[in-house]
Chain A
Amino acid sequence: MSTLRTSRSARVGQYLALLAYLVFLAFPFLWLISTAFKPAPELGSLHPTWIPRDPTLANFRQAFDEQPLLQAAGNSLLAALSAALIAVLIATPMAYVMARHRGRLSTAATGWVVISQAFPFVLVIIPLFLVLKNLHLINSLFGLVMVYVVWSLPFALWMLVGYVRAVPAELEEAAAVDGAGRLRTLVSVTAPLLAPGIVATALFAFITAWNEFFFALVLLKTPEKQTLPVVLTHFLGAEGVADLGPLAAAAFLATIPSLVIFAIIQKRITGGMLAGAVKS
C-alpha cells in the first residue's frame, strides 16, 4: 500500500488517528505508574495530577508490608516456569506429529485445540476441582502447574505447528537419505532449527501462567500458596475500599516481568501467528 500516493490531508488524518489510538492504549498504564509514586495525601486530594507533585517510594514499601508479595512472586515464578518448561517439553513432539502427519490423531488433536477455546472454564473448573481434590492436589502449586500446562497447550501447539511447518521436510528427508536414523534426524537437524520457536513458545506459556487468575483463585486456598494475581486482589479489601497507593505499586511490579518478556518475543508471536496463517 505504501506505493500508493496518499494526499497530504489524508496523511494528517492518519497521524491524528494513530495519535488517538496511542493515547487510548497508553494512558491507563501511565496513570497506574503515576498513582504508584504518589504519597497518600496527594491521592486523597480532589485534583490529581499526571506527574506526582511529591514522588515517593512509600507505596512500594507499604505494599510489601501489607501483603506477602515476595512469597507470592516466588509462587508465581515457580508455577509459571515449571508450566512453561513442561508445556514445551510435551507439546513439541505432539506439534511435530500434527505438522508432519495427516492422520486421525492429528485431526483429533486439532479439533481439541479449536474446541478447547470455546468451552467456558466454569464447566471445566468444577470437575477439575473434584479431580484434583481426589488426587490431594488442591492448594498445591503442583496441581496448579498441571492445570496450567494443559491450559497453555492449545496456543503452544498452534504456535509450534507453525514453526515445524516452517522447517522444510526435504531437509529431514535428505538427512534420512544420508543414512541418519529417525531420532538422529530429529535431534541434529530439526531441533536446532526449531529452537527459537520453542523458546518463544515457552516464554509465551510463561506469561500466560504468570498472568492467570481464575484457576489460581479456585485452586489455591491459603495465602502462603497463592500466586501474585490472587494476592493482588487482597489489596482491594472487602467493600472495594482500596488503599490506592500500595495497590498501584504492587500492580505495577507484577506487570514488569510480563512486559519485559513480551517486548522480547513480540515479533515472534506476531510472526508465529503469521507463519501458521500462511502455510496452511
Chain B
Amino acid sequence: MSVETATKRSGGTAAAGERPGHGRPAGRDHAAWFLVLPALIPILILSVGPLLYGILLAFTDAQSGRTQATRWVGTLNFQDLLHDSLFWESFRIGLLWAVGVTVPQFLLALGLALLLNQNLRFRWLARALAIIPWAMPEVVVGIMWRLVYNPDAGILNETLRDMGLGDGRDWLTGLATALPAVILVGIWAGMPQTTVALLAGLQNTPHELHEAAALDGAGAWRRFRTVTWPALKPVALAITALNFIWNFNSFALVYVLTNGGPGGRTRLPMLFAYEEAFRYGQFGYAAAMGCVMVAVISVLLALYLVGRLKGDQDR
C-alpha cells in the first residue's frame, strides 16, 4: 500500500491524463459493476457498514447483554472520556509506543535496505532472514520474545551474566523496563515490511545520477543526501505514516507480552478499548474511544504529512 500512495503523490497526476481508449461508457460500466459486486457486497456489509455503525454507537449507551433498548446519549460518552485519566494515560503510552517503534524501525530498516541494495555476498541470506518476522504469527513473536526476556531461562539475562553485567532483571514486569522492552519487540516485528518498501524505493532511484555524482567526487553521504534521499522520500513518508498508524493500532504483540501490565505501563489504547468493550461490555464507550483514536491520529498524520511536504517546497 505504502508504495502505491507514494507513487500516487509523485507521479499520479501525469498518469491520470494519458488513458485514451478507456472508459467507453454505458455497456462497459454494467460489466464493471458485475465484476465488482461480489467483492463490493462483503465490503459494504463487513467493513464500510460496521465503520459507520461504530461511529453511531459512540453516541449511544450500548452495552453487552442488556435487556433494555439502547438509547441515544448524545456526546455523553465523549464528555466522560474527556475526564477519564486512565484513558488518556493509555493514550499517552500509545503515542510513546507508536513513535518509539516507528522512528527506530524506519532508521534500522533504511540501513538494512541500503545494505541489501549493495552487491554484498550473503545478501540472499539476509533477505530471507529479514522476512522471518513478517511471516510469523504475531502471537508467536510475542511468545518468542517472552522466552528471550525470561528472567531465568531467557537468553538476554544469560548473556548479561556472561558479560559480567549483573544478574539482569525481569524485563517485562519491571515498571521502568516493560515499555522499552515491548518497544524493542515492536521494532523487530515491523522491520521487514519497512525494509521491503524502502528497498523497492531504492531500486527506483536513478542509477546514472549516482555514478555522475560519484564522478564529480561526491562522497557516500553527499550522494545519499542529494541523489538517494530525494528519490526515496515519497516512499519513506508513506511507510512511516502507515507504520505509525499500524503501530498505534497494534494489539496482539503487547497482549501476549504483558497484557498491558505491569500496572498499566504498557496498556496501549487498543488493549484499553478491548477490555472496555469485551470485558466490561461497554460497547458505546469503547466505540467513542475508537472515534477519538481515529480523530487524533488523523490530525497528527495530517500535520506530519503537510509539514513534510511543505518542508519540501521551502527548500
A22 touches which one: B129, B203, B248, B291 (CB < 8 A)?
B129
Chain A residues, CB < 8 A from B101:
none
State whether A259 touches B132 (Cβ < 8 A): yes
Which bucket holds chain B's interface residue count?
35 or more
Instruction: Give Cα A255 to B137, complex, Å.
Output: 7
Instruction: Give Cα A111 to B288, complex, Å.
Output: 24
State whether A103 touches B29 (Cβ < 8 A): yes
Contact with B along A14-48 (1 / 0, CB 8 A): 11011001101111110110010000000111111
State whether A122 touches B135 (Cβ < 8 A): no
List CB contacts (< 8 Å) of B100-134 with chain A. 108, 111-112, 115, 117-120, 122-123, 125-134
State whether A259 touches B245 (Cβ < 8 A): no
- Evaluate whether A29 and B132 lie within 8 angstroms (CB atoms) in the complex, with A21-B115, A229-B137, A273-B197 already known: yes
State whether B210 touches A4 (Cβ < 8 A): yes
Contact with B along A244-280 (1 / 0, CB 8 A): 1001100100110011011100100110011011101
Question: Is A205 interfacial (CB-CB < 8 Å)?
Answer: no
Question: Is B5 interfacial (CB-CB < 8 Å)?
Answer: yes
- Evaluate whether A48 and B137 lie within 8 angstroms (CB atoms) in the complex, with A26-B132, A114-B5, A236-B256 already known: no
Question: Is A123 interfacial (CB-CB < 8 Å)?
Answer: yes
Question: Is A179 interfacial (CB-CB < 8 Å)?
Answer: no
Chain B residues, CB < 8 A from A171:
none
State whether B203 touches A274 (Cβ < 8 A): yes
State whether A28 touches B293 (Cβ < 8 A): no
Instruction: Give Cα A146 to B44, complex, Å.
Output: 12
Question: Is B211 interfacial (CB-CB < 8 Å)?
Answer: yes
Contact with B along A81-121 (1 / 0, CB 8 A): 00000000111011011001111010001001110111111
Nearest chain B CB to A270 CB, angstrom units: 5
Contact with A along B157-193 (1 / 0, CB 8 A): 0100100000000000100000000000000100100
Contact with B along A44-58 (1 / 0, CB 8 A): 111110100000000
Instruction: Give Cα A150 to B137, complex, Å.
Output: 19
Chain A residues, CB < 8 A from B19:
102
User: Total A-B residue pairs with C-beta atoms closer than 8 Å?
Assistant: 306
- Evaluate whether A47 and B158 lie within 8 angstroms (CB atoms) in the complex, with A247-B143, A274-B200 already known: yes
Chain A residues, CB < 8 A from B3:
273-274, 276-277
- Chain B at the A interface: SS class: helix
A150 (CB) vs chain B CBs: closest residue: B46
Instruction: Give Cα A11 to B207, complex, Å.
Output: 20
State whether A21 touches B112 (Cβ < 8 A): yes
Instruction: Give Cα A270 to B126, complex, Å.
Output: 14
Question: Is B303 interfacial (CB-CB < 8 Å)?
Answer: no
B122 (CB) vs chain A CBs: closest residue: A18
Nearest chain A CB to B62 CB, angstrom units: 8
Q: Pick the most buried of B5, B36, B140, B259: most chain A CB atoms within 10 A of its CB.
A: B140
Chain A residues, CB < 8 A from B153:
35, 43-45, 48, 244
Question: Is A222 interfacial (CB-CB < 8 Å)?
Answer: no
B135 (CB) vs chain A CBs: closest residue: A262
Question: Is B294 interfacial (CB-CB < 8 Å)?
Answer: yes
Instruction: Give Cα A105 to B284, complex, Å.
Output: 33
Instruction: Give Cα A17 to B136, complex, Å.
Output: 24
State whether A117 touches B139 (Cβ < 8 A): no
State whether A254 touches B115 (Cβ < 8 A): no
Question: Is A211 interfacial (CB-CB < 8 Å)?
Answer: yes
Chain A residues, CB < 8 A from B126:
18, 21-22
Question: Is B61 interfacial (CB-CB < 8 Å)?
Answer: no
State whether B134 touches A240 (Cβ < 8 A): no
State whether B136 touches A97 (Cβ < 8 A): no
State whether A277 touches B6 (Cβ < 8 A): yes
Chain A residues, CB < 8 A from B249:
120-122
Lowest 8 CB-CB distances: which A-B pairs, in order? Answer: A123-B290, A262-B135, A93-B35, A127-B53, A211-B137, A277-B3, A127-B50, A2-B119
29 A-B residue contacts at CB 8 Å? A4-B214, A14-B115, A17-B111, A17-B115, A48-B154, A48-B155, A105-B36, A114-B5, A117-B1, A117-B245, A117-B246, A118-B294, A119-B294, A126-B290, A150-B47, A153-B43, A154-B1, A210-B137, A211-B136, A211-B137, A213-B138, A213-B255, A218-B278, A244-B150, A259-B135, A261-B135, A266-B131, A274-B3, A280-B8
**A-B contact sample (17 more), CB < 8 A, given A22-B125, A127-B51, A211-B139:** A14-B120, A22-B122, A32-B140, A32-B144, A44-B153, A47-B161, A97-B36, A120-B269, A126-B57, A127-B53, A131-B50, A213-B137, A228-B137, A232-B137, A232-B140, A277-B201, A280-B8
Question: Which residues of A pack against B, CB within 8 Å?
Answer: 1-4, 6, 10, 14-15, 17-18, 21-22, 24-29, 31-32, 35, 43-48, 50, 89-91, 93-94, 96-97, 100-103, 105, 109, 112-114, 116-131, 146-147, 149-150, 153-155, 157-158, 182, 207, 210-214, 218, 228-229, 232-233, 235-236, 240, 242, 244, 247-248, 251, 254-255, 258-259, 261-263, 266, 269-270, 273-274, 276-278, 280
